[in-house]
């Protein structure tokens, strides 16, 4: 990844960093299926406005909309519902750690289904290092009850696998000539269509009590910032850097969360946070490969005879 891709990567980690918090607040008023329906509907509406402002139009090809439907299921409907339901049974920290298995699944899926993103020892070591860093940052408290609420934990792990499948599946849109913002809007519209009958049948939203203001605000942030804006960045990153690199953002998310807490809320960083961030940095370096290449070339140049 070049400097521009790393910038997109960093911004994406920040806007996705608050998603677990926004989900937690939204769940105080909206059950999981309704939450995902609202999230997909509001974010797709926002992206339609963006498309209109920029003079773009959604494609009308049936084959493209079938592809959007598949992506909407893998990248939105399935994982969003599983994570939201999982967070009703397990802590945010544990859900985040389980979500951080996405890059590991991404390496496996990309190796199985692509010709140009095969697993290497560096990628495998890097992913494992990053996951260990997230686990250390969250600490032992987040892992409390790892054996309990097994279904909720399996739901979060399955969501991570679904994200990984979506990352590889989403590569096809570049070959189809579909811009990232169009892909983001198409998948969200498709996901909203998938979620509407489920939410109506199982949640009966019209019978729910009036939502809390804080839940409404959290839902707006979740839809507009952590979904609409985030997916524009995400598909741009896939287009420029590949599925495996894009999926790495899932275990960088705790870093901006901790930094924001430090500077805005006066929270103090603990030694485990520094250790975790160091492991994540090493993991990213191992997967990207170039920092170690630079070191090797530096040693080779120093060892070369000077004429």
pLDDT digits over 180-221, tens only? 888 889 999 999 999 999 999 998 888 888 899 999 999 999
**C-beta separation of 48 from 185 below 8 A:** yes
Query: Is the alpha carbon torsion for 20, 243, 249, 158 positive or negative?
Result: positive
Q: What's the Cα-to-Cα distance from 188 to each of 46, 69, 208, rounded to whole Å?
A: 10, 9, 24
Q: Which of 11-15, 20-24, 115-119, 187-191 is the least confident region? A: 115-119
Contacts of residue 168, defined as CB under 8 A and 6 or more positions apart, other chains included, come to 106, 109, 110, 113, 114, 117, 243
> pLDDT at position 144, please?
59
Q: d(Cα 238, Cα 158) in Å, to the nearest integer?
A: 21
Residue 135 lies in a domain: yes
Q: Do the domain assignments include residue 201? A: yes
Tell me which of 10 and 263 has the higher pLDDT: 10
Q: Is residue 205 part of a domain?
A: yes
Question: Could you give the 3-state DSSP secondary structure of residue 136?
Answer: helix
Q: Is 252 helix (H, G, I), strand (E, B) or coil?
A: coil
* Mean pLDDT value across residues 85-94: 79
* Structural domain contains residue 303: no
Q: How confident is the model at residue 268 (pLDDT cuts 50, 70, 90)?
A: low
Three-state SS at 216: helix
Q: Which residue has the higher pLDDT, 139 or 127?
A: 127
**Range of the structural domain that residue 203 is part of:** 3-291
For residues 177 and 173, what is the distance between their CA atoms, to the nearest angstrom?
6
Q: Mean pLDDT highest for which of 118-132, 182-196, 274-288?
A: 182-196
pTM, to two decimals: 0.77
Pair 243, 168: CB distance under 8 Å: yes
Q: What is the predicted pLDDT for the residue at 145?
A: 57
**For 262-282, b where at least 16 C-beta lie within 10 A, e where not — what string?**
eeeeeeeeeeebeebbebbbb
Number of domains in the chain: 1
Chain Cα centroid distance, residue 171: 16
Q: How far apart are CA 264 and CA 242, in angstroms?
A: 34
Tell me whether residue 141 is in a domain.
yes
Q: Is residue 113 part of a domain?
A: yes
Please check whether residue 142 lies inside any domain of the structure: yes
């Amino acid at each position: 990844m070049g400097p521009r891709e790393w910038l997109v990567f960093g911004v994406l980690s920040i806007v996705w960093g608050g998603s677990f918090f926004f989900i937690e607040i939204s769940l105080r008023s909206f059950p999981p299926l309704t939450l995902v329906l609202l999230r997909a509907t509001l974010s797709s509406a926002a992206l339609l406005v963006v498309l209109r402002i920029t003079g773009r139009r959604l494609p009308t090809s049936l084959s493209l909309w079938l592809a959007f439907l598949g992506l909407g299921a893998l990248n939105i409907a399935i994982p969003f519902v599983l994570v939201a339901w999982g967070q009703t049974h397990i802590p945010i920290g544990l859900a985040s750690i389980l979500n951080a298995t996405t890059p590991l699944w991404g390496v496996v899926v990309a190796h199985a289904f692509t010709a140009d993103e095969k697993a290497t020892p560096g990628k495998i070591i890097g992913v494992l290092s990053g996951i260990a860093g997230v686990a250390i940052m969250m600490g032992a408290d987040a892992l409390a009850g790892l054996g309990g609420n097994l279904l909720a934990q399996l739901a979060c792990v399955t969501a991570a696998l679904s994200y990984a499948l979506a990352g590889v599946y989403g590569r096809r849109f570049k070959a189809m000539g579909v811009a990232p913002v169009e892909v983001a809007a198409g998948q969200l519209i498709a996901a909203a269509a998938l979620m509407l009958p489920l939410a109506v049948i199982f949640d009966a939203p019209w019978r729910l009590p009036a939502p809390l203001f804080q839940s409404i605000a959290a839902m707006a942030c979740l839809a507009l910032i952590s979904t609409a804006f985030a997916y524009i960045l995400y598909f741009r990153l896939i287009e420029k850097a590949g599925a495996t690199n894009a999926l790495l953002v899932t275990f960088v998310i705790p870093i901006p969360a901790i930094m924001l807490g430090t500077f805005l809320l006066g929270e103090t960083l603990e030694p485990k946070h520094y250790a975790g961030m160091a492991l994540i940095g090493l993991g990213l370096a191992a997967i990207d490969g170039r920092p170690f290449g630079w070191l090797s070339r530096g040693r080779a140049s120093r060892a070369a005879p000077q004429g």
